[in-house]
Chains A and B, each alone.
Chain A
Amino acid sequence: MSALPATTIAPLPGQGPVEILRLLDGLDAPTLWWLSGYAAAQASHAGSAARALPTVPAREAGPQERLTIIYGSQTGNARRLAEKLAHDAENAGLAVRLLRADVYPQRELKSERLLYIVISTQGDGDPPDDARGLVEFVVGKRVPPLVDLKYAVLGLGDSSYPQFCAIGRRLDARLAELGATRVLAAGEADVDIETVATPWLEQALGAARETLKTAAPRATVTALRPHAANAEWSRERPFAAELLVNQRIVSRDGARAVHHVELSLEGSGLTYEPGDALGVWPTNAAVLVDAVLQTLQLDGETRVTHAGETHSLHAWLSTRRELTRLARPFIAAHAAHARAEDLNRLLAPDRNSDLAKLLNTHQVIDLLREFPAVWNADELVAALRPLTPRLYSIASSRRRVGDEVHLTVANVAWKAFGHTHAGTASTFLTSRDDGARVPVFIESNERFRLPDAGTDVIMIGPGTGVAPFRAFVQERHEAGARGRNWLFFGNRHFHDDFLYQTEWQDALRKGALHRLDLAFSRDQESKVYVQDRLREHGSELHAWLENGARLYVCGDATQMARDVHEALVDVFVTHGGLDRESAQAHLSELIQQGRYARDVY
């Protein structure tokens, strides 16, 4: 059979995706044909709410001549690449189907002929939420031998994490182990994704052509491309949004500055849904750029040509290179330049944790200061990793704010090695004045969507994790949703950093928010966190969930998300009468069904 691609299905509420798949099962080509056109029409009428419509082959192609592309994506990068690949393959006349990992019917794996997987690595070497099930299946025992399968894997990752592209690597190795044939070496895209991805996609397309000796190209229904509305602007072609408001929203005593930022999308045609993130292309702080130039005694005016682009060194360092996020390759290069043996030793496989620590605590400038070395402008630009955009959960609903987009930005700043350190994008955003222009793009997140109006939602968002829930509550209120909204929020101090306090109070009064539970960790002797509140209100929480409530978690990935997950396990053990294993399993189920969604960073 052929399943409609994930992108169509994702926005459908609740069990939607799975149900539709079941319905479609065994439908004949003409029916599917008609369906896709019908859906396309529906989508275009739905206007801004339109979701990407798939490309559906004119004639239902069997597995033998079909390319299947599966993606697992947390923040949309893998999805974007997979969509591009599908698009190109389709234009090349290949029969393609594109599926998000969690809607891929696993039993079809054995009958696949050509399979491409584009997948990122999350957490500490974990799969993206939407791919947990597939990865479990593939690495698990129940997976059949795949001797007839040809495949290729493109992994996405961030080399500043010790488990670089771990998931991509794992799948690639495992498929080989199962007897499948690798048509192309696994790609490992770092945060400068395109550097690796673009050539890989080309080769992948070539290999597909080879493998599927295609007959004459077929006509295909050209459906809406993903984000038709946003087509004009993209990650590579960001829109210069005007900054309308940049307002500190923690008290003067608040330890960590958090700002509410409002940007205008007027005239851009950009649209977003609650749950989406905004991509921001930052500029490195001038002081930092100067510090680097000074330390290396380089002239900012020096013209540097790299990868066919020519700019002044200053321009390269300001808007085109990472100065605050270190990566393995640069450490290696700098170790060589500085002839720093001990630095070099950190790169040894057995020193992963030490390396991770260095990557997490040092900026380029720290390395340059600690291990003096001579660099010339060209080498430097070549060695530094390209600047990457930062994502910020969108904190507003268009139904409420129209052409605006709101963010909740915590300014990352700390002291180390006798110098003040600051995060690039958060500082860039929180230090702009009204009227400034900020290059942005929409990063949609199909995995973090509100359910239908009748369903209850439970939102767990401590710190800046509360951002998307401001959007949720605005949206549900404007839409007159009947479902109840329960928010768990936490921070350090009630007095100082109760983010959006007056808005929540207002929402409670208006009945836009039905319940708000708070955890201020440092207001009493013993620390209290959201997970403690979850346990406290476990029986109600359990009742809500049994009643079909959706669960959302947003915010810190390193600690919070894990602790919250643990608390949820406890809730099901204590109030659901499950043992830990079944509780774990139940939660994984909820995750796969999209009833427990996380947006953690």
Chain B
Amino acid sequence: MTTTPSHLEEIKAASRFLRGGIAAGLADPITGAISDDDNKLLKFHGSYQQDDRDLREERRQQKLEPAYSFMIRARLPGGVVTPSQWLAFDAIAREHANGTLRITTRQTFQWHGVIKGRLKPTIAAINASLADTLAACGDVNRTVVSSANPLQSSAHQIAYEWAARLSEHLLPSTRAYHEIWLDGEKVAGDEGESEPLYGATYLPRKFKIGLAVPPTNDIDVFAQDLGLIAIIENGELKGFNVAVGGGMGASHGDPTTWPRLGDVIGFVAPERLLALATGVLTVQRDFGNRSQRLYARLKYTIEHRGLDWFTRELEQRLGFALEPARPFAFANNGDRYGWIEGEDGRWHLTLHIAAGRVADTPGQPWLTGLREIACVLRAAASHVQFRLTCNQNLIIAGVAADDRAAIDALVAQHALDAYRAQSGIRRHALACVALPTCGLAMAEAERYLPELLPKLEAQLARHGLSDAPIGLRLSGCPNGCSRPYLGEIALVGRAPGRYDLRLGADFRGQRLNRLHRQNINEAEILATLEPLFAQYAHERSTDEDFGDFLLRAGALAPEAPRTIPATVIA
């Protein structure tokens, strides 16, 4: 197997714990960019350099460099945001970024369009609001996600607390972050500094942890490197089932890459959770592929070395054996909209935010509306909070019955109640960011969703399927940021206007969909779906989801074959 470390490994090693030349790059007035190597390091600090791809060619002709700006991603374990934080984030969006807040599929916020000169003040402002961006991206453990919308609010509290603890526990300990962004005092060279958990080269690749509370799988627990299924019996947390090796990313036409769902390998009690997470992370740290990033995710480590090997290696490190997994059942991986009363008598309102983009657009002054709601909530009791969901939606949680009316009024006034009248498919649609900011996008996603939906809705309406909850997921490329491989219907971008059409995932996040048609345009997409909708309308059994139906009806192609390249077999 190839063993020469990838260029990125060298960059990390030489970076003096993620400092590199970032500070100097920020100060260079000749360009709005920083060096390629520093870009790799900047990710660990929670930011990506991007450029407005709509303007690229135009500016090249104008002899101007690309319109560089930076995306900043917050680290918000469990996606919980206080009203005052919301107001701070909203102000940052308007003052430093492009005037929008973007709820991500990992229940945090992204700001887009922050120019280099504003990067430092923006990150400082985020920290001032008692959040941060450290390790929101990069080869480390990312923001830990947890069910935002469980049936009982007590369960949410449990899940959230563990998400927060895991996230803190697995944070890198470099002081570079404070040094560069918060004027923390300099650490001479790297002496006196170390990364006890990660080591100087951190992980081979990103690492993601998610915590689900059955029967809700709103986080897609099986898409996580480490998925934790909370086992709660009458209000008491017993522990977690452990699923490992989930991941979505793949490359077009490369059978050695594929989306993979995590395998449940056992159960751990709460007090052993931190040790378990550390164990899984360090096995991946030590055995993950550091020469070919393409195969550097945990899912490939497991595929290439075997699940048994992995479990053995893990248990050795833990010094204890995992208990057998406990029974669990997921009902679905979507969000429930509208008001729900928690068992504590407090109310939770789930709002649909199309593709997670909180912005003021004609007829939809959402940014303003939520700012006003945040003002009201800040005045109200302390346990009121915003929760971001992994379906790119927003929950206003912990509202006292008396305060509902005020919020309903603001919600209606700012057209945030659109979900009430929405079709089933619109309510369950996800789209990744893609163009114009995403550097890897091959096709539109977020911007295409509002164009595509009306056409699908028209078709569904003809078949009386307007209310059928169908999970639609758009990704601008096969990296799968909207977890498209878990969509009942998914479009994965190949080129402008062209997508792979994938069909047949379940609605519980437990079955991957399959490639149905390759590289087709909108007309072909609609034409392909039309007969399937018709068939579904006539032949579905009660409550049968679209994905399940397609499988039963034999409408799906066989699963794609997987191969493991000789080079990586140990």
List chain A positions with a Cβ less than 8 A from chain B: 247-252, 260, 494-495, 498-505, 508, 516, 518, 523
Partner of B30, one of A260, A495, A499, A516: A516
Partner of B115, one of A495, A499, A500, A516: A495
Which residues from chain A contact B61 at a C-beta distance below 8 Å? 247
Q: A494-B32, A504-B30, A518-B29 are in contact. Are A250 and B62 (CB under 8 A)?
A: yes
Partner of B59, one of A251, A508, A523: A251
Q: How far, in angstroms, from A401 to B30 measured CA to CA in the complex?
A: 25
Ranked nearest first, the 6 interchain pairs of A and B with the lowest CB-CB distance are A249-B62, A249-B63, A501-B64, A502-B63, A500-B63, A518-B29
Other A-B pairs beyond A495-B67, A495-B115, 10, CB < 8 Å? A249-B63, A249-B64, A250-B62, A251-B64, A260-B63, A495-B32, A502-B60, A505-B30, A505-B65, A508-B30
Taking the complex as formed, is B524 at the interface, i.e. its CB lies under 8 A from any CB of chain A?
Answer: no
Question: Measured between C-beta atoms, what is the minimum distance from A511 to chain B in Å?
Answer: 14
| CB atoms of A502 and B65 under 8 A apart | yes
| CB atoms of A247 and B30 under 8 A apart | no
Taking the complex as formed, is B58 at the interface, i.e. its CB lies under 8 A from any CB of chain A?
Answer: yes
Nearest CB to that of B31 among chain A residues?
A505
Nearest CB to that of A248 among chain B residues?
B62
Which residues from chain B contact A250 at a C-beta distance below 8 Å? 62, 64
Give me 21 A-to-B residue pairs in the complex whose CB atoms sit less than 8 angstroms apart, sorted by A's number: A247-B61, A247-B63, A248-B62, A249-B62, A250-B62, A251-B55, A251-B59, A251-B62, A251-B64, A252-B58, A495-B32, A495-B115, A502-B64, A504-B30, A505-B30, A505-B65, A508-B30, A516-B30, A518-B29, A518-B30, A523-B117
Question: Measured between C-beta atoms, what is the minimum distance from B57 to chain A in Å?
Answer: 12
| CB atoms of A498 and B58 under 8 A apart | no
Which residues from chain A contact B32 at a C-beta distance below 8 Å? 494-495
Which residues from chain A contact B117 at a C-beta distance below 8 Å? 523
Q: Considering residues B30, B59, B64, which has the most beta carbons from chain A within 10 angstroms of its beta carbon?
A: B64
Which residues from chain B contact A503 at a C-beta distance below 8 Å? 63
Q: A495-B32, A518-B30 are in contact. Are A501 and B63 (CB under 8 A)?
A: yes
Nearest CB to that of B29 among chain A residues?
A518
Nearest CB to that of A520 among chain B residues?
B29
B contact face: mostly helix, strand, loop, or mixed = loop
Question: Measured between C-beta atoms, what is the minimum distance from A491 to chain B in Å?
Answer: 12
Q: How far, in angstroms, from A160 to B61 measured CA to CA in the complex?
A: 38
**Interface 0/1 of B1-44, CB less than 8 Å to A:** 00000000000000000000000000001111000000000000
Partner of A498, one of B55, B60, B64, B115: B64
Which residues from chain B contact A498 at a C-beta distance below 8 Å? 64
Q: How far, in angstroms, from A249 to B64 measured CA to CA in the complex?
A: 7
Q: Considering residues A495, A499, A523, which has the most beta carbons from chain B within 10 angstroms of its beta carbon?
A: A495
Which residues from chain A contact B55 at a C-beta distance below 8 Å? 251-252
Which residues from chain B contact A260 at a C-beta distance below 8 Å? 63
Question: Measured between C-beta atoms, what is the minimum distance from B31 to chain A in Å?
Answer: 6
Q: Considering residues A252, A498, A500, A516, which has the most beta carbons from chain B within 10 angstroms of its beta carbon?
A: A498
Nearest CB to that of A500 among chain B residues?
B63
Partner of A501, one of B58, B65, B115: B65
Which residues from chain B contact A248 at a C-beta distance below 8 Å? 62
Nearest CB to that of A252 among chain B residues?
B58
Nearest CB to that of A504 among chain B residues?
B30
Which residues from chain A contact B65 at a C-beta distance below 8 Å? 501-502, 505
Q: How far, in angstroms, from A404 to B32 measured CA to CA in the complex?
A: 32
Q: How far, in angstroms, from A508 to B58 measured CA to CA in the complex?
A: 23
Q: How far, in angstroms, from A585 to B60 measured CA to CA in the complex?
A: 46
Q: How far, in angstroms, from A247 to B63 measured CA to CA in the complex?
A: 9
Question: Measured between C-beta atoms, what is the minimum distance from A501 to chain B in Å?
Answer: 5
Question: Measured between C-beta atoms, what is the minimum distance from B143 to chain A in Å?
Answer: 31
Q: How far, in angstroms, from A405 to B287 measured CA to CA in the complex?
A: 61
> Among residues 44 to 89 in chain B, which have CB atoms less than 8 Å away from a CB atom of chain A?
55, 58-65, 67
Which residues from chain A contact B58 at a C-beta distance below 8 Å? 252
Which residues from chain A contact B67 at a C-beta distance below 8 Å? 251, 495
Q: How far, in angstroms, from A503 to B62 measured CA to CA in the complex?
A: 11
Question: Measured between C-beta atoms, what is the minimum distance from B239 to chain A in Å?
Answer: 54
| CB atoms of B62 and A247 under 8 A apart | yes
Which residues from chain A contact B62 at a C-beta distance below 8 Å? 247-251
Which residues from chain A contact B64 at a C-beta distance below 8 Å? 249-251, 498, 501-502
Q: How far, in angstroms, from A248 to B55 measured CA to CA in the complex?
A: 14
Q: How far, in angstroms, from A252 to B64 measured CA to CA in the complex?
A: 11
Question: Measured between C-beta atoms, what is the minimum distance from B423 to chain A in Å?
Answer: 37
Question: Measured between C-beta atoms, what is the minimum distance from B58 to chain A in Å?
Answer: 7
Which residues from chain A contact B60 at a C-beta distance below 8 Å? 502
Q: How far, in angstroms, from A516 to B117 measured CA to CA in the complex?
A: 18
Question: Measured between C-beta atoms, what is the minimum distance from A219 to chain B in Å?
Answer: 55
Which residues from chain B contact A251 at a C-beta distance below 8 Å? 55, 59, 62, 64, 67
Q: How far, in angstroms, from A502 to B117 measured CA to CA in the complex?
A: 19
Question: Measured between C-beta atoms, what is the minimum distance from A408 to chain B in Å?
Answer: 10
Question: Measured between C-beta atoms, what is the minimum distance from A201 to chain B in Å?
Answer: 44
Nearest CB to that of B66 among chain A residues?
A502
Nearest CB to that of B67 among chain A residues?
A495
Q: How far, in angstroms, from A251 to B117 measured CA to CA in the complex?
A: 19
Q: How far, in angstroms, from A501 to B59 measured CA to CA in the complex?
A: 10
Which residues from chain B contact A249 at a C-beta distance below 8 Å? 62-64
Question: Measured between C-beta atoms, what is the minimum distance from A369 to chain B in Å?
Answer: 36
Which residues from chain B contact A505 at a C-beta distance below 8 Å? 30-31, 65
Q: How far, in angstroms, from A223 to B353 measured CA to CA in the complex?
A: 82
Q: How far, in angstroms, from A505 to B62 measured CA to CA in the complex?
A: 14
Question: Measured between C-beta atoms, what is the minimum distance from B367 to chain A in Å?
Answer: 22
Q: How far, in angstroms, from A504 to B30 measured CA to CA in the complex?
A: 9
Q: Considering residues B30, B59, B60, B117, which has the most beta carbons from chain A within 10 angstroms of its beta carbon?
A: B30
Which residues from chain A contact B31 at a C-beta distance below 8 Å? 505
Question: Measured between C-beta atoms, what is the minimum distance from B484 to chain A in Å?
Answer: 34
Nearest CB to that of A254 among chain B residues?
B62
Q: How far, in angstroms, from A251 to B57 measured CA to CA in the complex?
A: 12
Question: Measured between C-beta atoms, what is the minimum distance from A430 to chain B in Å?
Answer: 14
Q: How far, in angstroms, from A531 to B60 measured CA to CA in the complex?
A: 30
Which residues from chain A contact B30 at a C-beta distance below 8 Å? 504-505, 508, 516, 518
Which residues from chain B contact A502 at a C-beta distance below 8 Å? 60, 63-65
Q: How far, in angstroms, from A503 to B65 measured CA to CA in the complex?
A: 9
Question: Measured between C-beta atoms, what is the minimum distance from B217 to chain A in Å?
Answer: 44
> Among residues 138 to 167 in chain B, which have CB atoms less than 8 Å away from a CB atom of chain A?
none
Question: Measured between C-beta atoms, what is the minimum distance from B138 to chain A in Å?
Answer: 28
Q: How far, in angstroms, from A483 to B32 measured CA to CA in the complex?
A: 29
Which residues from chain B contact A504 at a C-beta distance below 8 Å? 30
Which residues from chain A contact B29 at a C-beta distance below 8 Å? 494, 518
Q: How far, in angstroms, from A518 to B63 measured CA to CA in the complex?
A: 17
Nearest CB to that of A494 among chain B residues?
B32
Q: How far, in angstroms, from A496 to B62 measured CA to CA in the complex?
A: 10
Q: How far, in angstroms, from A500 to B64 measured CA to CA in the complex?
A: 7
Which residues from chain B contact A501 at a C-beta distance below 8 Å? 63-65
Which residues from chain B contact A518 at a C-beta distance below 8 Å? 29-30
Q: How far, in angstroms, from A297 to B64 measured CA to CA in the complex?
A: 47
Nearest CB to that of A503 among chain B residues?
B63
Q: How far, in angstroms, from A500 to B30 measured CA to CA in the complex?
A: 12
Question: Measured between C-beta atoms, what is the minimum distance from B482 to chain A in Å?
Answer: 31
Nearest CB to that of B115 among chain A residues?
A495
Question: Measured between C-beta atoms, what is the minimum distance from A399 to chain B in Å?
Answer: 20
Which residues from chain B contact A247 at a C-beta distance below 8 Å? 61-63
Q: How far, in angstroms, from A249 to B63 measured CA to CA in the complex?
A: 6
Question: Measured between C-beta atoms, what is the minimum distance from B68 to chain A in Å?
Answer: 9
Question: Measured between C-beta atoms, what is the minimum distance from B428 to chain A in Å?
Answer: 38
Question: Measured between C-beta atoms, what is the minimum distance from A103 to chain B in Å?
Answer: 39
> Among residues 115 to 142 in chain B, which have CB atoms less than 8 Å away from a CB atom of chain A?
115, 117
Question: Measured between C-beta atoms, what is the minimum distance from A139 to chain B in Å?
Answer: 45
Q: How far, in angstroms, from A250 to B62 measured CA to CA in the complex?
A: 6
Which residues from chain B contact A523 at a C-beta distance below 8 Å? 117
Q: How far, in angstroms, from A501 to B55 measured CA to CA in the complex?
A: 15
Nearest CB to that of A496 among chain B residues?
B64
Which residues from chain B contact A516 at a C-beta distance below 8 Å? 30
Q: How far, in angstroms, from A52 to B555 measured CA to CA in the complex?
A: 87
Q: How far, in angstroms, from A508 to B30 measured CA to CA in the complex?
A: 10
Question: Measured between C-beta atoms, what is the minimum distance from B115 to chain A in Å?
Answer: 7
Which residues from chain B contact A508 at a C-beta distance below 8 Å? 30
